[in-house]
Structure 1
Amino acid sequence: MADKKAPIFLARKSYQRRRLRDASRVLPVAGLVLFMIPLFWLQDTETTRGTADAMTFVFAVWFVLVVIAALLGKPTQESENGPDNGKKDGDVL
């Protein structure tokens, strides 16, 4: 008889959780790159972007990063701290 082999692909839920964790690990690097964008704005006399524009951009990026982090964190937290999570009633941690 042929040997039964383990499936090649991972379960969908665990795969999605891992990809969400990967995305949350990349988020700080993406934030750093986005925060550096105002440093590259040219300081022309005709089309000068002032400090107010740069600070507006930084706070907008910060807000978007917070929202993305919340959206990425919610599903991973729910799946790891689910109601049953393989534990019995008397189990502690």
Structure 2
Amino acid sequence: MITGIGPVTSSGIGIEALSAGLRVPRSPIARVTHFDPSPFRSTIAAEVTDFDPTRFMEPKRARRLDRFIHLTLAGTRLALDDAGLGADALVPDR
């Protein structure tokens, strides 16, 4: 079990950024920009913006992976860091 948090949110990425983002009197909800939302009933969302996947992985790997994987791996990395664990603490066959 990992006891750590790894927030990757529209209000901030990482604990400190999220905390600061929640204190700002501004809503992160805006018109969707990552895809064309016109086929859907709602065209607004709280998107994760200013996200750089190469902060969490090699550029070559980032180019081959989809955005949802980028966000998942970033959250995992942040949670491991918060828990004080390195990637070598993970047991791949468990």
TM-score (norm 1): 0.27
Structure with bigger strand share is 2
Structure with bigger helix share is 1
TM-score (norm 2): 0.27
Larger radius of gyration: 1
